A and B are shown apart, each in its own frame.
Chain A
Amino acid sequence: MMRSAVLALVLAATGASLAVAASPADTIAARQANFKKMGGAMKVIKDELAGGADKAKMVGAAKTIAAVARAQGPLFPKGTGPGAGVKTDALPAIWTDRATFDGHAKKLIAEADKLVAVAGSGNAAAVAAQFKAVGGTCGGCHKAFRADD
């Protein structure tokens, strides 16, 4: 009984530490998948603005952006830059100018939340304007912190 409890604790501890110390490759893959998710969601909104204007789809996509934006910050730990041996467009400036980078991330979350709020309004012009605002935060950060491909 005692033994199995210890074993369980040890397993839990190692499991937790594994989660914390995900390899740089895993972290980079996770954040890239997230960026792709956001890109796909942006496209959904853009497409709806061009054609269907389906409110539910736009709200869903906006929520995806807002949720994923929140998950991104922790996925840029030290050691996951270009030196990690994995292909990444993340520039070293992220870690030398972290405050600015985090500022961009915060701004994205704020603008994405506003997009969620407006997406279901049926006011296409307002959605379009907020879509642009969100896009602006993407572009603003990418200009400074992502390698140009």
Chain B
Amino acid sequence: MTEGKVGVWDVPVRLFHWSLLGLFCFSWWSGENHEMDWHRQSGLLVLALLLFRLFWGLAGSRTARFAQFLRGPGDVIAYARKAGDEHPTDGHNPLGGWSVAALLLVLLTLVGAGLFAVDVDGLESGPLADYISFDAGRQASEIHEIAFKAALALIGLHVCAIGYYQFLVGRDLVSPMITGKRELAPGESAEGVRWSPLRAAIGLAVIAALVWAVSKGFHFSSAGEV
């Protein structure tokens, strides 16, 4: 370990973060350009990532866990009052933790609605759309659209917050999400995060199987590919 630095984000958290960004952009592009096969594939991968993140919020390293970063309103208000002055947080700060929760929730809504969405021509649809009516599928499309706009807004906020820390507080939040390590505050002693590759693999395997079943619409013998 480098002198004066400490591991703050485990490998799965970082892979999740950057893959999610990449897939979100790709989904956006493919959706705008009516590349619906790509859009469905990409959306299923986003679903897998989100499910993994939920799992990792229970089974990951300490900074990945919901129990560590979802704090009560008192902590959030106290942090917001002195956001800039605080020394670097061990993981998500009390405000940022809820921003993560909000992003996860909105993205899950976005992907969940996408699974059931139907286009106006009844041509393109999510893999679970055959369980609901055309009208319900159209409503799912509406929710998909609203959740997308909400996601863009939250991502905008996320980027602004990073910019705030970068330029007004002078704290680099981007490098730690790449290298996994953050600077230690003077006199601070923190242990690096630890995670279990075995647990990650088990979670990933279960989620991969589940998402595969979703991609088939839980029909394991179909009459014909459409």
Contacts and interface: CB of A to CB of B under 8 A. Distances in A.
Contacts of B118: 39, 43
A66 to B, nearest CB: 15
Nearest to A123: B224
Interface residues of B, number: 20
Contact of A43 (B122, B219, B222, B224): B122
Q: How large is the interface on A (under 10, 10 to 19, 20 to 34, 35 or more residues)?
A: 20 to 34
Contact of A50 (B120, B137, B219): B219
Contacts of A49: 222-224, 226
A125 B120 contact: no
B226 A128 contact: yes
A42 B123 contact: yes
Contacts of B129: 43, 47
Contacts of A135: 121, 123
B122 A42 contact: yes
Contacts of A125: 224
A47, A51, A124, A138 — which one has the most chain B CB atoms within 10 A of its CB? A47
A50 B122 contact: no
Given A49-B224, A53-B223, A128-B226, A35 B217 contact: no
A50 B121 contact: no
Interface of A: 35-36, 38-44, 46-53, 124-125, 127-128, 131-132, 135, 138-139, 142
